[in-house]
Structure 1
Amino acid sequence: MTLVDTNVLLDLVTDDPKWADWSLSQLEAASLDGPLLINDAVYAELAVRYERIEHLEAFVGGAGLEMTSMPRAALFLAGKVFALYRRAGGSRTGVLPDFFIGAHAAVAQLPLLTRDVRRYRTYFPSLKLIAPTM
């Protein structure tokens, strides 16, 4: 099983000229190891790109994604690491979903397919990341 970060899926939705091919090949490779999972935070972030829930559901189903709920321990951890981020001077808004996603992967011991590694490596050092090498 692999938890998939929103940015990888948005590469497909937007047909990103730089990242769509990489994201598609990584999704295909990860699917060989088991289900591709998304959680509530990823679903909500994807919803921004769709006018109707039916279109989002069609994408989720067509991509072979499975919804999974975030464990309470992950929700707690997300709050704690977000507090650390703020105490360390982090002021960027809109980052809380990243902490939900990272905490979910960490608590459930799932690899995370993402292109945004910096925050995950900083706040979830035990996390197995599937990411581009830069």
Structure 2
Amino acid sequence: MTLIDTNVLLDLATDDPVWADWSIRQLDTAAVTGPLVINDIVYAELSVGFERIEQLDELLDDAGVTLNEIPREALFLAGKAFRRYRSAGGARSGVLPDFFIGAHAAVLGLPLLTRDAKRDRTYFPSVIMVTPDSDSPG
């Protein structure tokens, strides 16, 4: 099972000219090893770009992605990690969802497919990150 971050699925939804091919290849590779999952946070972030729920659900179905509830232990861990981040001077807005996603992967021991792993690597070092090479987007 692999947890998929919002940015990877946005690449598909928008047919991103730089990242779509990379994201499709990574999703295909991850699907070979087990189910592809997202959580409620990723679903909500993705929904911003869709007019109808059916459109989003179709994208997820086509990509072979299912919704997985965030365990309570991950919610607790996300709060603790976010508090550490804020204590270290981290930004107040727009980042808490990243902590829910990273904690979800950490608690369940799932790899995280993402293009933005900076905070996750710092606050969830046990999570295996599947990321692009820093100098090779395609």
TM bucket normalised to smaller: over 0.9
Cα RMSD after superposing both structures? 0.7
Q: Using the alignment, how far apart are the partners of 1:91 and 1:131 within structure 2?
A: 23
Partner of 1:78: 78
Gaps of 5+ in 1: none
1:32 counterpart SS class: helix
User: What pairs with 1:99-114 in structure 2 (closer than 5 Å)?
Assistant: 99-114=99-114
Tell me which amino acid in the other structure corresponds to 1:78.
Answer: A
Map 1:10-49 → 2, pairs under 5 A: 10-49=10-49
Paired AA for residue 76 in structure 2: F
Residues 27-58 of structure 1 show CA distances to partners (whole Å, capped at 9, x for unaligned) of 00000001000000000000000111111111
> Deviation above 6 Å: which 4+ runs of structure 1?
none
Percent of pairs with identical residues: 65
Give the structure-2-normalised TM-score: 0.95
* Aligned amino acid, residue 37 of structure 2: L
Q: Unaligned stretches of 5+ in structure 2?
A: none
Greater Cα offset, 54-63 or 20-29: 54-63
1:90 corresponds to which residue?
90
Q: CA deviation at 1:19?
A: 0.5
Task: Give the whole-Å Cα distance in 2 for the aligned partners of 1:100 and 1:74.
Answer: 7
Match in the other structure for 1:65? 65
Q: Aligned residues, how many?
A: 134
Question: Per-residue deviation at 1:92?
Answer: 4.6
Paired with 1:57 and 1:8, the residues of 2 have a C-alpha distance of 16
Cα distance in 2, alignment partners of residues 62 and 117 from structure 1: 25
1:124 maps to amino acid = F
